[in-house]
Amino acid sequence: MRETKGTKAVYLDPERTAEERAKDLASRLILEEKIRQLLHFSPAVPRLGIPEYVWQNECLHGVGRAGIATVFPQAIGMAAAFDRDLIFRVASVIALEARAKHHEFSRRGDRGMNKGLTFWTPNINIFRDPRWGRGQETYGEDPYLTSRLGVAFIRGLQGDHPKYLKAAACAKHYAVHSGPEPLRHRFNAEVSKKDLRETYLPAFCAAVREGKVEAVMGAYNRVNGEPASASKSLLVDVLREEWGFTGHVVSDCGAIHDIHKHHRVTASPAESAALAINNGCDLNCGWTYTALKEAVRQGLVSEETITAAVIRALTTRFKLGMFDPPSMVPLADTPYELNDAEDHRRLALEAAVKSMVLLKNENGLLPLDRSKIRTIAVIGPNADNKRVLLGNYHGTPSRYVTALTGIREAAGPGANVLYAEGCELSVTWISFWGRGGAAGFTEAVAAAERADAVVACLGLSPELEGEEGDAGASEAGGDRLRIDLPGLQEELLKAVAAAGKPVILVLFNGSTVAINWAQENIPAIIEAWYLGEEGGTALAGVLFGDYNPAGRLPVTFVKSLDQLPPFTDYSMKDRTYRYMAEEPLYPFGYGLSYTIFAYSDLTVSDRELATTDQKDLEVSVTVTNTGKRAGEEVVQIYLSAPGADVTTPKWELKGFERVALQPGEKKTVQFSLSRRQLGSINQEGDCFLEPGRYRIYVGGRQPDDRSRQLTGSEVLTAEVRIEGEAVKLPY
């Protein structure tokens, strides 16, 4: 295309749409240039003013792997907050810091790894098995919770400007991906149509339709025989044609190479590249797409298909303002000083406070009374461990506050804080020099005996669970083979408890830990997750009552692996709270408070509906803080369809609200249940609104017996009848 003298090329005209500009720019590239633009390291094209660009960036809980940035709690911890607004605000801050860093780097000519604005976040896979090391990156086991938090994160990261994105989000890993890590390059996840539509796809659908996510990342594994990053069923039939996705698709790193090397679906790089791009995978994290030229020569793919992928990729860059004057692009003038700002640190503290879950508090041991605690012992391998603040895919805080540091600062003047590591995280041996194993027990017990209260900081670490290649001390390539406390941690806990002083167990981890002995014998237990840079401050605030915990578990804590199917079984039968038959240690949605909340006045707009009615079902309830402390309550609504003709979950989460109440204060909380939320997925993966009885449960927990035992509270219930013939609903 040639412009007449004095005219501006379409791709240089900010008044044109991003897609129009991308089409024009793509038309000016020769085949070799187009192919190189589809690699995650995209080289510059100086003659057209295209700068080099590295697509790969991470911001799971803060701008990752690009130096100093605010580090928020790991994703699983933020999920425990059950707070959409919090997730939105965190993502908005991440986008601001991303802009501050990106523009500073670019002005200095640094366009390297993790310096761009296309972030491969959020991870909205379903955390179906606690052995999976990357479950910490997710929002838990429930499709509804994951959908709501995923959409909130995407909207916060991308912003709402009509023309420009703050940053580009990417929903990953599409689809049906949750371990095992060592098998992911060759594993075939076999899943029924029902489980696919009921459990594994809802969050991705919400990310596309509601969140307007800019990118989707294909997974490593196959799904029912098709490589996920080259799946016609997933990428063409569902993602683009059914859901109307218009953004770009990127493969996981090396996933296209896996198609011939490990999955053996194809016989060569050219065949793998052609299969992927023909089925809608635009960008290749890796180098296999360099074989596209050979694929064109062999007639396996057309240049038009390659051009279409380039247009989708370039459209994202235009939406990010990468070809426009900075004065036109919102946030392009973000000063570097806004990175790691103090108000961002305060938000990290708020997120850490809201993430913690109080699992047990026998006889009101917590909060600790500063006036009565003169000596406190802080014990355990995670007490002064900076890494357990971070989780995986993290940035670097400018200041770390470990549990030990936070407790020392918060204990008050004159308080004596003793510290003993006690044991290493996972070591069970004793060396010639007396290190490792139980060598530190003596010091830990001595500290406990001298204390008025003991805080035992135990659990896991990112070295024990994470992505393949990252968790160096994992027994299974990032995954876990066991879910009890590793090493000699439980023995340490028993030894410290034998000193006879009040013990508070604090767990730092990204997934379920089976602490059956502790539940029976330790008076107070806090689930802290990987809390981020202000973790120690947040923990100390909860211990001393400056903050009232209100987090809820986004995953089920099973008692043992005997309660679960094999790791490689992707059927939802006997998995998660929705289908698990056995009693767990701690249920999904469970968490305690320092105050008491009462529920009353449950109202439902209609006790009878027809399957043809188009209106939503309106539900409201009054929540009152009847205790003596201010606090927050996570109000949860669950639905069951006991009379359905198809297999349905026991009950499933359909709504939640986190509300703050002063002592004596009450609020009315309202929910709307759409026809789609009332619908059930059949074995063919179709959604139907069935006639029959529907039961609604509202309270601060699940309506299960174990939650009743642990909380001593009840939930309110209401029944609705739906009459008529079954009606098929859109997915």
Write the pLDDT tens digit of every residue in 538-555.
999 999 999 999 999 999
Which 3 state secondary structure label does DSSP give 64? Answer: strand
Asked if residues 646 and 628 have their Cβ atoms less than 8 Å apart, the reply is no
Instruction: Supply the mean pLDDT for the chain.
Output: 97
- Decide: 705 and 626 in contact? Cβ < 8 Å: no
- Sequential DSSP letters for 316-368: HHHHTTTTS-GGGSTTTT--GGGTT-HHHHHHHHHHHHHH-EEEEEGGG-PSP
Residue 679 scores a pLDDT above 50: yes
DSSP structural state of residue 290:
G
Residue 327 has pLDDT above 70, yes or no: yes
The predicted pLDDT at position 92 comes to 98
Q: Answer yes or no: CATH 3.40.605.10 is held by domain 344-579.
A: no
What pLDDT does residue 339 have?
A: 98
Please give the C-alpha separations between residue 708 and each of 549, 553, 705, 718, in angstroms, as whole numbers. Answer: 19, 15, 5, 18
Strands across the sheet with 226-227, in order? 188-189, 222-223, 226-227
Residue 574 has pLDDT above 50, yes or no: yes
Reduce the DSSP state of residue 80 to 3 states and report it: helix
For β-strands 375-379 and 727-729, DSSP reports them as unpaired
Distance (Å, rounded) from C-alpha 104 to C-alpha 113?
A: 14
Cα distance between residue 703 and residue 105, in whole Å? 52
Does pLDDT of 1 surpass 50? no
pLDDT of residue 437: 65
Tell whether omega for the bond before 367 is within 30 degrees of 0, i.e. cis: yes
Of 252, 421, 467, 468, which residue is the catalytic one?
252
Q: How far apart are CA 179 and CA 569, in angstroms?
A: 10
Domains 344-579 and 597-729 share a fold: no
pLDDT of residue 434 exceeding 90:
no
DSSP state of 253: T
Average pLDDT over residues 202-213: 98
Closest among 146, 143, 128, 127 to 87, alpha carbons compared? 146
* CA dist list (Å): 647 to 128, 570, 609, 644, 725: 19, 17, 22, 7, 18
Residue 534 annotated to the active site: no
Q: Quick one: how far is CA 592 from the chain centroid?
A: 22
Cα(63)–Cα(95) distance, integer angstroms? 8
Q: Where are the domains of the chain?
A: 344-579, 597-729
- Sheet architecture: strand order including 524-527: 357-361, 524-527, 503-508, 453-459, 375-379, 416-420
**CA distance linking residue 233 with residue 280, whole number of Å:** 10
**pLDDT of residue 431 exceeding 90:** no
Question: Which residue type occupies 212?
Answer: K
- Please say if the pLDDT value at position 445 is more than 80: yes
Does the pLDDT value for residue 409 go beyond 60? Answer: yes
The residues that bridge with 600 in the sheet, in sequence order, are 622
The confidence band for 7, taking pLDDT boundaries of 50, 70 and 90, is: confident
10-59 pLDDT, tens digit per residue, is: 999 999 999 999 999 999 999 999 999 999 999 999 999 999 999 999 99
Per-residue confidence band for 599, with pLDDT thresholds at 50, 70 and 90: very high
Collapsing DSSP to helix, strand or coil, 589 comes out as coil
User: How far out from the chain centre does Cα 378 lie?
Assistant: 30
Distances (CA, A) of 645 to 33, 168, 249, 679: 56, 42, 37, 12
Q: Is the model's pLDDT at 123 over the cut of 50?
A: yes
Residue type at position 529: W
2 — pLDDT class (breaks 50, 70, 90): very low
Q: How far apart are CA 249 and CA 133, in angstroms?
A: 25
Structure tokens that stand for 349 in this block: 């503290």
Q: What is the DSSP string of 90-146?
A: HHHHHHHHHHHHHHHHHHTT---TT-SSB----B------TT-GGGGGS--S-HHHH
The class that CATH gives domain 597-729 is mainly beta
pLDDT band at 435 (very low <50, low <70, confident <90, very high): low
Per-residue model confidence (pLDDT) at position 6: 62
Longest dimension (CA), the chain: 88
The reported pLDDT for the residue numbered 543 is: 98
pLDDT score recorded for residue 5: 56
State yes or no: is 252 an active-site residue: yes
The span from the CA of 278 to the CA of 605, in Å, is 49
pLDDT at 708 over 50: yes
Q: Catalytic residue among 24, 226, 421, 465, which?
A: 465
Report how far residue 145's alpha carbon sits from residue 626's, in angstroms, rounded to the nearest whole number: 28
User: What's the CA gap between 481 and 464, in Å, rounded?
Assistant: 11
193, burial (CB in 10 Å: exposed 0-12, middle 13-18, buried 19+): middle
Whole-model pTM: value is: 0.98
pLDDT tens-digit map of 266-313: 999 999 999 999 999 999 999 999 999 999 999 999 999 999 999 999
List, for residues 180-197, the tens digit of each pLDDT value: 999 999 999 999 999 999
- Burial of 630-659, coded b for 16+ CB within 10 Å and e otherwise, reads ebbbbbbbbbbbeebeeebbebbbbbbbbb
Gap between the Cα atoms of 509 and 144, Å rounded: 23
